[in-house]
Amino acid sequence: MRAGLAIVAAFWGASAVAADGKALFEKNCAFCHASTTEEKRLGPSLKGLKNGVLPDAIGKAATRENILKKIDDGGGGMPVFRELLSKEEKEAIVSYTMTL
């Protein structure tokens, strides 16, 4: 029973993080990155990120580490968000983008 409750709690916790990530994505990222279409805005669409490859990264894997590095360091026209978002906010955004 406890194991079942732990799994449900983990699922709902992950869902809440992804929901928060969606709101944070819409506030901080959606102007430049589409999430539901292949539309290229100022930056590439992130639709399909869950398939494992970062857009415009010549085959670079869409891992948590690589996505966080891109958020922190920017580059290629993307601003640096290292000091603009908290660690928790960045983690929530990464969790959300990995569902796209």
The runs of H, that is alpha helices, within the chain are: 2-28, 64-73, 87-97
Tokens of 7: 């799994």
Place of tokens 């601003």: 79
| DSSP state letter for 79 | P
Looking at 1.10.40.30, 3.60.21.10, 3.90.1310.10, 1.10.760.10, the CATH number of the domain 2-97 comes to 1.10.760.10
Per-position pLDDT tens, the chain of length 100 = 444 434 434 444 455 556 699 999 999 999 999 999 999 999 999 999 999 988 876 678 999 999 999 999 998 899 999 999 999 999 999 999 999 9
Give the model's pLDDT for residue 10: 46
What number of CA atoms fall less than 13 Å from residue 70's CA on the CB side?
21
Tokens of 65: 């580490």
Q: What is the pLDDT of residue 95?
A: 95
* Contacts for 68-73: CB closer than 8 Å, 24+ residues apart: 68/94
